[in-house]
């Protein structure tokens, strides 16, 4: 039985990898559907019975999936549909295939494809699969990898890598590792390599401010592999997998498919620039724009074209930062990013979602703390009542909270006790609240009752 841990893959992906063998026919093309099944799509189809289940599945899904949405979904409650649309707007990697009559609602979903009937749906699914296959093969042939292993095992791994199309591999042993490591995107380590001093090599990478994704393997007890994972992860390195066996060709392919879909596919799916644009953060009392909120999916060229002034700030989504710096976490990217975006480094803020999922031992969490210490703002975007976690207000370095449109409208119409309690806790922690509403005098008067003086709007 193969056992492993990962700081990148989900539990479901780990279970899939653990049960993977040569007879499995793993598909990189994951298709999700709302309620319905389809004759033309069989093995890879995952069906959700309601919108809540669908949203949960999509939030834990890998990158580069397809979603079939029948027109019957418009009969569902508007609040549920709004939450789904918000998620899809921020997941530009999801190919949304709308089946049936054109939707009556307006959306800003960038990868939206209308399918008039099931035959048209089949054609679009086939085209999407072929496109994804080409992207994976190109990525795999160019991907920079270092494998650390004893010389007598090199040929085994070389054959497996050649068979799956992984061409750019540099093979090192313990003697040549320190001198020839360089800056790979992925570092694969055979823990049974003769003469390997793992801690020394991790320290060397840390001193060079280079944090590649890491895979380790070896025929070792599971508790030793788990302890090794903890050591590497606590040193700040993202770990794709720690395996207690030697992977065969099929398992290597599964690992690279998982890495491609989970980490790197986000770079390749955006074939055209997003048209969503930036939101504006208005200060209602001053009647001025204080910041531009740059939604996930905007590229650096679009952001650099936004208006510049001495007082305007730019809120960058954390997912965008992870997209732009995929080759490992670096300690200091603020000045580099500011230079690329054409703005002052002191005018850059960051927005996160689901802070409860961020490990307190991670480099990312440390970066957020350091950002707050130098007066960078950390915004927390909340989509639904389920995310109103008061513990985050007390224990996480957020400066501002952005309420979604649905929560903002609820605030105007009549807030729940849960929302009111959250607002009270935020005031006690001196955390600013921002509503997602259009600026107006009536909006300003209504929000003033809760001490809110800013809104975010197109």
Q: Is the pLDDT reported for residue 271 higher than 60?
A: no
pLDDT tens, residue by residue, 28-51: 678 999 987 777 676 578 889 999
In the CATH hierarchy, which fold is given to the domain comprising 11-24+141-268?
A: Rossmann fold (3.40.50)
Q: Which of 320-324, 367-371, 374-378 has the lowest mean pLDDT?
A: 320-324
Q: Is the pLDDT reported for residue 11 higher than 60?
A: no
Kindly provide the b/e burial profile for residues 75-111, where b requires at least 16 CB atoms within 10 angstroms of the residue's own CB.
eeeeebbbbbbbbbbbbbbbbbbbbbeebeeeebbbb
> Which ranges in the chain are annotated with CATH 3.40.50.2300?
11-24+141-268
Instruction: Calculate mean pLDDT across residues 378-383.
Output: 94
Q: Is the pLDDT reported for residue 85 higher than 60?
A: yes
DSSP 62: P
Q: Residue 20's pLDDT is what?
A: 46
In the CATH hierarchy, which fold is given to the domain comprising 31-139?
A: Rossmann fold (3.40.50)
Domain 278-457 class, CATH top level = alpha beta
pLDDT tens, residue by residue, 117-130: 888 888 888 888 88
> Which ranges in the chain are annotated with CATH 3.20.20.450?
278-457
Flag whether the pTM goes above 0.95: no
Highest mean pLDDT among 186-190, 260-264, 409-413: 186-190
Q: Residue 160's pLDDT is what?
A: 87
Which strands form 145-148's sheet, in the order they lie side by side? 169-172, 145-148, 186-190, 213-217, 239-243
Contact 28, 260 (CB under 8 A): yes
Q: Residue 15's pLDDT is what?
A: 52
pLDDT tens, residue by residue, 401-452: 999 888 988 888 889 999 999 999 999 999 999 998 877 777 888 899 999 9
Q: Residue 67's pLDDT is what?
A: 93
């Amino acid at each position: 039985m193969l056992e492993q841990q990962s700081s990148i893959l989900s539990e479901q992906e780990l279970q899939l990898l653990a049960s993977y063998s040569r007879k499995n026919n793993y598909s990189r093309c994951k298709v999700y559907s709302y309620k319905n099944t389809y004759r033309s799509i069989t093995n890879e189809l995952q069906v959700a019975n309601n919108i809540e289940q669908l949203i949960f599945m999509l939030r834990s899904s890998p990158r580069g999936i397809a979603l079939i949405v029948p027109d019957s979904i418009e009969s569902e409650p508007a609040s549920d549909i709004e939450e789904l649309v918000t998620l899809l707007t921020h997941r530009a990697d999801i190919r949304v295939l709308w089946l049936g009559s054109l939707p009556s609602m307006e959306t800003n979903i960038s990868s939206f494809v209308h399918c008039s009937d099931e035959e048209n749906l089949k054609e679009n699914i086939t085209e999407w699969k072929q496109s994804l296959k080409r992207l994976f093969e190109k990525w795999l042939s160019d991907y920079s990898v270092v494998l650390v292993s004893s010389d007598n095992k090199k040929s085994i791994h070389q054959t497996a890598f050649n068979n799956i199309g992984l061409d750019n591999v540099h093979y090192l042993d313990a003697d040549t590792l320190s001198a020839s490591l360089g800056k790979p995107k992925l570092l694969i380590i055979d823990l049974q390599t003769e003469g390997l001093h793992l801690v020394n090599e991790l320290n060397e990478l840390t001193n060079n401010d280079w944090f590649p994704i890491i895979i380790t393997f070896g025929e070792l007890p599971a508790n030793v592999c788990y302890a090794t994972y903890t050591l590497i992860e606590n040193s700040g390195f993202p770990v794709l997998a720690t395996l207690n066996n030697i992977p065969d060709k099929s398992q290597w392919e599964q690992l690279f498919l998982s890495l491609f879909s989970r980490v790197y596919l986000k770079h390749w799916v955006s074939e055209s620039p997003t048209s969503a644009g930036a939101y504006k953060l208005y200060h209602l009392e001053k009647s001025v724009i204080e910041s531009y909120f740059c939604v996930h999916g905007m590229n650096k060229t679009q952001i650099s074209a936004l208006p510049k002034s001495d007082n305007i700030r730019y809120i960058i989504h954390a997912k965008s930062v992870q997209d732009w710096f995929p080759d490992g976490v670096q300690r200091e990217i603020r000045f580099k990013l500011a230079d690329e975006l054409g703005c002052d480094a002191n005018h850059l803020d960051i927005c996160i979602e689901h802070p409860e999922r961020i490990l307190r031992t991670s480099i990312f969490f440390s970066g957020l703390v350091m950002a707050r210490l130098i007066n960078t703002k950390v915004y927390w975007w909340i989509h639904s009542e389920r995310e109103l976690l008061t513990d985050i207000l007390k224990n996480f370095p957020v400066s501002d909270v952005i309420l979604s449109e649905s929560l903002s409208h609820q605030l105007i119409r009549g807030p729940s006790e849960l929302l009111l309690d959250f607002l009270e806790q935020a005031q006690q922690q001196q955390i600013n609240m921002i509503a997602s509403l259009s600026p107006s005098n009536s909006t300003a008067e209504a929000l003033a009752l809760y001490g809110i003086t800013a809104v975010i709007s197109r």
